[in-house]
Amino acid sequence: MRVSELPRPSPERLLKQVQAEENKRWGAKLKIFLGYAPGVGKSYRMLDEARRRHERGEDVIVGAVQGRQSEEVQALLHKLEMIPPLQTPEGQAVDIDAILRRAPQVCIIDPLAAHNAPGSRNPNRWQDVQELLRNGISVLTSVNLLHVQEIKEKVQAITGKDTTETIPKSFLLAADDIVIVDVPPDLCLSRQGEKLTSTGISNSQERQLSELRELALLLTAEVVDAQLESYVHAHGMEPVFGTHERFLVCMTPHSNALAMIESGRRNKDRFQGELHAIYVCEPGRSKRERVTIRRYFEVAKQAGAATDVLESDDPISAIVDFARQNRITQIFIGHSARNSWRDRLFGDPVLRLIRAAEGIDVRVFPH
């Protein structure tokens, strides 16, 4: 595929690029340490990086840190300069003016999802972070899975914990760097100071933490995938293909589209992948066929598929082009319940698709 044929950048991506360019002009970077639960050691990893950077000569200061800290973390904090938060009758807030006057290269603002005291110049910490970045100051920060707005509900359902302090997921996606701090659940619990029962950790606690851990790993993978896409795009390179399973269901009125969509949904869930469903519009479809297709579209959307209609008089090429542009790894296609005059003339479309879709798995479904 040539670069000119690559899909146009989405508005979100353009916005992200502009933001990134703006910060880059000043060389400011945002790095976020993500943890699946308290006790994984985010603060330690973050401050340890700050210490190493400081020792290598970078000008690193601390603008805000969590209240309760372990001894190891306190030992790291002692090595770094700190700008104390503003104390107001309402509570604390990051002292943005003092940090801007001090103008360090790197500032630690932690935790990311905290609120500032009412009446502060920014109600949320993440807005403080944006302000520092706009002023050319790099930021190191950390956040727990629970505090990501789009994931909060799931975490709540698993653990019963709730919070009002959240950051939008788009903030993570726009970060220059994200790092997941991954430790086994037992270690995490022992750091939380839980008493280990005689049989080790209680089953339900371990199960909860495992679930959170899986969610955090997948969220990080999603951010990394988005970064990879922008990188590849910015460098005019071919899309990277095959890091993530992406399924494409090709719907036609005479194939068993419903079975394909159902299977696509299950595959998407199992692989934590993406699902697309398309219909290649050919002229001369009857009204009944159009009604059928409309119903399939509804079902596909409910199954969580991104749906598209392609217009082409060469359906095979249209499908393969779409698949390549969208980095599809598996195409689902059905045997047709009846052969049209075209099939008799040009050969079975299923076989033609298999021949054309080099580099992509093709799964053929019964009708």
Q: Which residues bind other proteins (CB under 8 A)?
A: 1-2, 31, 154, 157-158, 176-185, 187, 203, 206-207, 210-215, 217-218, 220-221, 224-225, 227-228, 231-232, 235, 237-238, 240-245, 263, 266-267, 269-272, 324, 330, 335, 348, 350-351, 354, 357-367
Least distance from C-beta 117 to other proteins, angstroms? 33
Cβ proximity to other proteins, 77 vs 226, nearer residue: 226
Least distance from C-beta 349 to other proteins, angstroms? 12
Cβ proximity to other proteins, 187 vs 291, nearer residue: 187
Amino acid code (one letter) for 52: R
For the chain, what is the HEC assignment?
CCHHHCCCCCHHHHHHHHHHHHHHHHCCCEEEEEECCCCCCHHHHHHHHHHHHHHCCCCEEEEECCCCCCHHHHHHHHCCEECCCEEECCEEECCHHHHHHHCCCEEEECCCCCECCCCCCCCEHHHHHHHHHHCCCEEEEEEEHHHEHHHHHHHHHHHCCCCCCCECHHHHHHCCEEEECCCCHHHHHHHHCCCCECCECCHHHHHHHHHHHHHHHHHHHHHHHHHHHHHHHHCCCCCCCCCCCEEEEEECCCCCHHHHHHHHHHHHHHHCCEEEEEEEECCCCCHHHHHHHHHHHHHHHHCCCEEEEEECCCHHHHHHHHHHHCCCCEEEEECCCCCCHHHHHHCCHHHHHHHHCCCCEEEEECC
Cβ proximity to other proteins, 252 vs 330, nearer residue: 330
Least distance from C-beta 96 to other proteins, angstroms? 26
Least distance from C-beta 43 to other proteins, angstroms? 16
Least distance from C-beta 176 to other proteins, angstroms? 8
Cβ proximity to other proteins, 26 vs 119, nearer residue: 26
Least distance from C-beta 102 to other proteins, angstroms? 25
Cβ proximity to other proteins, 88 vs 192, nearer residue: 192
Cβ proximity to other proteins, 98 vs 299, nearer residue: 299
Cβ proximity to other proteins, 134 vs 367, nearer residue: 367
